[in-house]
Structure 1
Amino acid sequence: MKYTLRQLEVFLAAAHTENITRAAGLLSMSQSAASGALKELEQQFDVQLFDRVGKRLQINELGRALRPEAERLLEQAKAFEQALAQHTDIGQIKVGATLTIGNYLAVEIVARYMAEQPGARVHLEVANTEAITSKVLDFELDIGLIEGDYHHPDLDIVPWRDDELVVFCSPDNPLAKRRRVSDAELIAQPWILRERGSGTRQAFDRALHGLLPQLQIALELQHTEAIKRAVAADLGLGCLSAITLEEAFHRGRLVPLQTEPKDFRRHFYFVLHKQKYRSAGIQRWLDLCREG
C-alpha cells in the first residue's frame, strides 16, 4: 500500500483548516512532519491535492473528489480498531441538532446512548438547519437532526418523525379568549419569530405564505425560550413546535390559538453525507431516535 492512514489524516486536517500548521496542531504533530506527510502522499501518486495560496492550502477539484473516500477509509479503520478492542471504547459520535430538537429531544437520546454503551462519548452541537447541514456536508458532523426541508445531491435526507407548529399568545392578549382567530386578527398583531434559515421559520412561512407580505414581524430571535418569554410579556404572537410549548400551556403561561385552517404540519429528518461510513455508533444512534 503506497499511502498510510496518517497521511490521510493530514490530508483531511489540511482540507478542514486550510493551513498545514493548524492541521499539525489538530493531530499533535510538528509542522514539518505534517508537511512532509502531505508532500509524500502527493509525490507518491504524482498528484496535487491543494492549491497553495501563500500559507493557505485551498483544496482543489481532485482533493474535493477524494475527500469523501479518505473520510470513509478512516471511519472504517476506526471501526476496525474498535472491533479489535472488543468494543471497550466505541469512540466519539458527532451529532448536530436544530434548536427545537437539540433542546427538547436530543439530550434524552444522548443519555440513553451513553447509558447503554459505557465509555461512549457524544459531541452534540445545536444550531439552525443551514448550519447543521453545512457541517454534515463538510464532514464536521457524523449526523444531523433537522426540522426543515433541505435538498443537496451529496446528502441523504431521511424522514424521522412528525411535528406540528402552534400559534400562541400571552394570557393577557385579547385573542386568548377567542375560540378561533381570523386572518385579519393575525395580520393586526405583531409577531415574534425564529430567524430565517431555521426549520421552524421555514415551516411558518410555508403555512402562512398568503399572509406573509402583510404580517408585522416585530422580532426575529434565534432561541425558542427567548421567543416564549417575549410572547409571555405580550410583545406579540409566536409560532413554535408543539413539543416546545407543552409545559407553558399546562402552566397557563402561554395560550394556544386556533386559527383559520392552515397546514402547520412538518417533519423532522436525519441528514447524513452519502459518502460517510455508517459506523455501528451511527446506526445505534439512528435506532435510538426511531425507538423514542
Structure 2
Amino acid sequence: MLQLDSKEIETIIALSRELSLTAAGQRLGISRSAVSQRLDKIEHKIGYTIATRKGHLILTNEGREIAAHCITMQHALTSLHAKLEQLREPRLDIMADEVLLKRDLTLVSQQMLINNPSLKIRLRRGTFSEIIRNVMDGTIDAGLIAGDPHVPGLRLVPYRIERVCLMMSCSHPLTNRRELPFSDAIRWPMIHSETLEHIIPIIDDIANKMGVKLSQPLICPSFDVQTYYVAKTDIGIAPTLESAAQVYQANHSIHIAHLSDEWARNQLYICEREIGGNSAVATELIQLMVARHTPIR
C-alpha cells in the first residue's frame, strides 16, 4: 500500500502554501535544493506531477488535490495528538459569553475541580457562532449558547430558561415602562450583541409583519460592550439577557424593561459534539450544569 511519511506530507503542504521552493525550504528548515529533491522523490513515488517548476512553482490539478488531502490529514493528526494529551492529563475547554462564564459556571467549575483534582479547566469568551464552530471542530469541549441553531452533529442539553429584556439609558422615553411587548419598542434604534445573534431574525420577522423598517445601527461583540454603549450614548436600546443586564446595572446607569412576548423566553443550552471524542469530564460537566440550574418541580 502506497504511503506518504510525515516529512513528505509536510513538504507537500509547505509547497502548496508557499508556491516557492525557497520559501517552502525556509518553512521546513531545509535548503531549496533539498526541497526540490524531496519533491522529485514524492512525484516518483506516487506517479503524479505535483508542481511544475518552470519559472514560478505552480501546482497541478493532481497536486492541489493531493495537497488538500495532506492538509486534512495534518489537521486530523493534530486533533489526535491533542486528544491523546487530554487523555494523559485531563483538560476541559469551555466557551461562553463572559456573563454566562461568571453566572452559570463558577460553582460548577469549582465542583469539577473538587471531583477531579488533576483536571485543568480553560474558560474562553466567545459569541454563539464562535462557540458552535469551535465545538464542531473539536477546539473546545463544550459551550453555552441561547436558542437552538439546528446544526447537524451538535448535541444540545437544556439547563435553564433565561428571558430577553430591553436595556436602555435612564433618560430614554421608555423608562416609564417596567414591562412591555416588543412591538411597543420596535420603532426605536437598536444596539445588538453578537452573543444574542439568534434573536435578530425574530426581530426582523416582527418588523416585517408590522411593516416597520428597523433601525439597527450598531452590533457589539459582547454584552459588556453593548451595555457600555447603551449607558454612554443615545444610539439606541438593546435587546439582551436579563441576567446580563442585571450584572451590569450595578455599575452602569441603565433601565431594564421586561418583555412580555413568548419568544423572549429563551432556553439556554450547554452544547457538545454529538459524536466523536467527548470526554468523561465533559459528560460530568453537563450533568452538573443540568443538576445545578434545572429547577426542582
TM interval, shorter chain, is 0.5 to 0.7
Q: Report if aligned partners of 2:97, 2:222 keep a CA contact under 8 Å in 1.
A: no
Instruction: Give 1:59's aligned residue.
Output: 69
Could you tell me whether the CA contact under 8 Å between 1:98 and 1:147 is conserved in 2?
Answer: no
The residue number in structure 1 matching 2:237 is 237
Q: In structure 2, give the amino acid aligned to 1:268.
A: L
Instruction: Tell me by how many angstroms 1:232 deviates.
Output: 1.7
Residue 171 of structure 2 aligns to a residue whose secondary structure is: coil
CA contact (8 A) 1:97 1:127 kept: yes
Look up the match of 1:284.
284
Partner in structure 2 of residue 246 of structure 1? 246
In structure 2, what is the Cα distance between the partners aligned to 1:19 and 1:157? 38
Inter-CA distance 57–131: structure 2 relative to 1 (3 Å threshold): farther
Q: CA deviation at 1:193?
A: 0.9
Alpha-carbon offset, residue 264 of structure 1: 0.3
Q: 1:183 to 1:104 in 2, by over 3 A?
A: closer
**Cα deviations by residue, 1:246-280 (Å, 9 ceiling, x for unpaired):** 24446783222245645201112222223323322
Shift of 1:288: 2.3
Structure 2 partner of 1:192: 191
Partner of 2:48: none
Quote the residue 1:201 is aligned against: 197
Q: SS state of the match for residue 206, structure 2?
A: coil
SS in 2 for 1:58: helix
Structure 2: which 5+ residue stretches go unaligned?
A: 16-27, 31-44, 46-61, 293-297
The amino acid of 1:270's aligned partner reads I
2 CA distance for matches of 1:130 and 1:283?
22
User: 2 CA distance for matches of 1:243 and 1:176?
Assistant: 18
Structure 1 Cα separation of the partners of residues 164 and 183 of structure 2: 20
Compute the RMSD of aligned alpha carbons. 4.3
Q: Does 1:173 align with 2:183?
A: no
Amino acid at match of 1:211: A
Which protein is bigger by CA-based radius of gyration?
A: 2
Preserved CA contact (<8 Å) 2:178 2:256: no
Distance in 1, matches of 2:283 and 2:181, equals 46
Structure 1 residue runs without a partner (length 5+): 1-6, 21-29, 33-42, 44-50, 83-89
- Supply the distance in 2 between the matched residues of 1:31 and 1:109 (Cα, whole angstroms): 46
Alignment check: 8 A CA contact 1:164 1:266 kept: yes
1:93 alignment partner, SS class: strand
Question: Percent identical across equivalent pairs?
Answer: 16
1:103-142 to structure 2, matched below 5 A, reads 103-142=102-141
Q: How far did 1:207 drift?
A: 5.2
1:244 alignment partner, SS class: helix
Aligned residues between the structures: 245
2:141 and 2:266 map into 1 onto residues whose CA distance is 24
Q: How far 1:61 sits from its partner (Å)?
A: 11
- For residues 85 and 189 of structure 2, the distance between their equivalents in structure 1, rounded to whole angstroms, comes to 55
Structure 1 residues 173, 275: CA separation in 2 closer, same or farther (over 3 Å shift)? same
Letter in 1 for 2:206: G
CA gap 1:116/1:149 in 2 versus in 1, 3 angstroms:
same
Shift in alpha-carbon separation, 1:130–1:182, aligned structure 2, 3 A? closer
In structure 2, relative to structure 1, the CA distance for the partners of 1:180 and 1:143 (3 Å cut) is closer
Any idea what the Cα deviations from partners look like across 1:11-61, whole Å, max 9, x if unmatched? Answer: xx98xxx669xxxxxxxxx989xxxxxxxxxx9xxxxxxx8549x942379
1:25 alignment counterpart: none
Q: How does 1:33-182 map to 2 (within 5 A)?
A: 53=64, 57-59=67-69, 75=83, 79=87, 90-178=89-177, 181=180
**Which amino acid is 1:96 matched to?**
M
Question: What amino acid does structure 2 have at the position aligned with 1:238?
Answer: A
Structure 1 contact 164–264 (Cα < 8 Å) conserved: yes
Contact 2:230–2:237 (Cα < 8 Å) also in 1 = yes
What TM-score do the two structures reach when normalised by structure 2? 0.64
Equivalent residues of 1:146, 1:271 under 8 A apart: yes
Deviates more, 1:242-251 or 1:149-158: 242-251
> Which one-letter code corresponds to 1:110 in the other structure?
S
What secondary structure is seen at the aligned counterpart in 1 of 2:217? strand
Q: Are residues 104 and 205 of structure 1, via their aligned partners in 2, closer, same or farther at CA, if it must alter by over 3 Å?
A: farther
| Residues in 1 aligned to 2:111 and 2:197: alpha-carbon distance in whole angstroms | 30
TM-score of the superposed pair, with normalisation by structure 1: 0.65
Q: Within 2, Cα distance between the matches of 1:249 and 1:136?
A: 31
Alpha-carbon distance in 1 for matches of 2:132, 2:250 = 34
Aligned position for 1:263: 263
Paired residue for 1:38? none
User: Do 1:169 and 1:234's aligned partners in 2 also have CA atoms closer than 8 Å?
Assistant: no
User: 1:124, 1:116 → 2: CA distance?
Assistant: 18
